[in-house]
């Protein structure tokens, strides 16, 4: 019998999946997410399911029976994956769970910015019906989008943009050919910024992507362009972005993520009328919550059953994973 520790609550469908295997697992859900309590809980675990709570090396070192960590989602920046790899422990993700939800959220922001929807809403509520004659909205068909990070989410965004009639280019240092028809891969993203109307960020959080979009990159961007980040906070320098918004060089921004979360509402980002903000909830639809919970749990069960699929394991190369990985 294996013990599964769930670090944080998640959708009941995931718990039901655990409860469907009384022959294999018992489980504990940690609701006190203080570092001390998480370390205590993880210490007795054979498997861990985690949302966004940090799992640093000092916490993982206490888990001497640990066989797998499964992320409720796809980002792994809250887990010391290098340490897991040193112990040959797989770091699994809910690989396709949030693709459609995040892509739809990105398109919602893109269209809201292009149509100046926030200003239109404010004007209508205040009785300024003549606002419509200012014609501040614009069409997206025929405009250009640059997607930075062309994994599963970036590819879905690219397909949706193409369906709306945008010209789409993509940058991804790990990809040479586009799997999406009509999307051109570029090697130097800075070279294409001057002709970009929508800059869509779908990159992971790494030392290389920290503040990747700074003063130099925003200065290269086409005047009036929009910046969208539904990936990870810290990829865009928020202070520099505010400078570009206030000067009018950047036409607007849609941000679902922030360098610090929860963000400081005193930051001048929150005083920008041309910015659409959301609380890192692009993947938090009801449907996506079910997919993330059930896929995260299924990865654990597959591992403990000795049939974990390599495609869901982020560190498969580092741990020398074969076609099937026997976690027993």
Taking a C-beta distance cutoff of 8 angstroms, is the pair 69, 91 a contact?
yes
Average pLDDT over residues 47-65: 97
pLDDT of residue 195 exceeding 90, the answer is: yes
93/165 Cα distance (integer angstroms): 33
The whole-number pLDDT of residue 321 equals: 84
- CATH at residue 159: 3.40.50.720
Same domain as 55, residue 133: no
Residue numbers of the domain that contains 66: 2-97+286-312
Same domain as 79, residue 148: no
Does 325 fall in a domain? no
Percentage of the chain with pLDDT > 90? 97
Average pLDDT over residues 302-318: 96
Does 172 fall in a domain? yes
Same domain as 172, residue 83: no
Strand partners, 308: 325
Instruction: Give the pLDDT band of residue 324 (cuts 50, 70, 90).
Output: very low
pLDDT of residue 325 exceeding 90, the answer is: no
Same domain as 66, residue 119: no
Same domain as 160, residue 250: yes
The whole-number pLDDT of residue 322 equals: 59
Average pLDDT over residues 318-328: 65
What are the pLDDT digits (tens) for 243-299?
A: 999 999 999 999 999 999 999 999 999 999 999 999 999 999 999 999 999 999 999
Does 10 fall in a domain? yes
Q: What is the mean pLDDT of the chain?
A: 96
Please identify every residue annotated as catalytic.
Answer: 232, 261, 280
Q: How many CB atoms lie within 10 A of CB 78?
A: 17
Instruction: Give the pLDDT band of residue 69 (cuts 50, 70, 90).
Output: very high
Same domain as 238, residue 130: yes
Distances (CA, A) of 288 to 73, 97, 186, 275, 294: 9, 6, 31, 25, 10
Q: 3-state secondary structure string, the chain?
A: CEEEEEECCCCHHHHHHHHCCCCCEEEEEECCCCHHHHHHHHHCCCEEEECCCCECHHHHCCCCCCCEEEECCCCCCCECHHHHHHCCCCEEECCCCCHHHHHHHHHHHHHHHHCCHHHHHHHHHCCCHHHHHHCCCCCCCCCEEEEECCCHHHHHHHHHHHHCCCEEEEECCCCCCCCCCCEEECCCHHHHHHHCCEEEECCCCCCCCCCCECHHHHHHCCCCEEEEECCCCCCECHHHHHHHHHHCCEEEEEECCCCCCCCCCCCHHHHCCCEEECCCCCCCCHHHHHHHHHHHHHHHHHHHCCCECHHHECCCCCCCCCCCECCC
Instruction: Give the pLDDT band of residue 73 (cuts 50, 70, 90).
Output: very high
pTM over 0.85: yes
Average pLDDT over residues 216-236: 98
């Amino acid at each position: 019998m294996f013990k599964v520790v769930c670090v944080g609550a998640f959708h009941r469908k995931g718990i039901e999946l655990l409860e469907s295997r009384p022959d294999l697992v018992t489980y504990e859900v940690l609701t006190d997410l203080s570092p001390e309590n998480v370390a205590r809980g993880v210490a007795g675990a054979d498997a861990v399911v985690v949302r966004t709570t940090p799992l640093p090396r000092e916490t993982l070192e206490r888990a001497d029976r640990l066989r797998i960590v499964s992320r409720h989602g796809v980002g792994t920046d809250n887990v010391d994956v290098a340490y897991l790899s040193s112990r040959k422990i797989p770091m699994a993700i809910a690989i396709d769970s949030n693709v459609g939800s995040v892509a739809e959220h990105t398109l919602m922001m893109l269209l809201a910015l292009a149509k100046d929807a926030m200003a239109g809403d404010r004007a209508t509520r205040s009785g300024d019906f003549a606002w419509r004659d200012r014609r501040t909205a614009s069409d997206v068909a025929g405009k250009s989008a640059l997607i930075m990070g062309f994994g599963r989410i970036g590819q879905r965004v690219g397909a949706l943009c193409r369906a709306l009639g945008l010209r789409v280019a993509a940058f991804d240092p790990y990809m040479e050919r586009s799997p999406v028809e009509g999307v051109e891969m570029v090697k130097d993203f800075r070279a294409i910024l001057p002709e970009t109307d929508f800059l869509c960020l779908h990159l992971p959080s790494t030392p290389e992507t920290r503040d990747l979009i700074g003063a130099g990159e925003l200065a290269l961007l086409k005047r009036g362009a929009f910046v969208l980040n539904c990936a990870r906070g810290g990829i865009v320098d928020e202070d520099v972005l505010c400078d570009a918004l206030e000067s009018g060089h950047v036409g607007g921004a849609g941000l679902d993520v922030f360098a610090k979360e929860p963000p400081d509402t005193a930051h001048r980002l929150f005083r920008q009328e041309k910015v659409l903000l959301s609380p890192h909830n692009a993947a938090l639809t009801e449907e996506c919550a079910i997919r993330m919970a059930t896929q995260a749990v299924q990865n654990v069960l597959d591992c403990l059953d000795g049939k974990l699929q390599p495609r869901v394991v982020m560190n498969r190369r580092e741990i020398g994973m074969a076609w099937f990985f026997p976690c027993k």
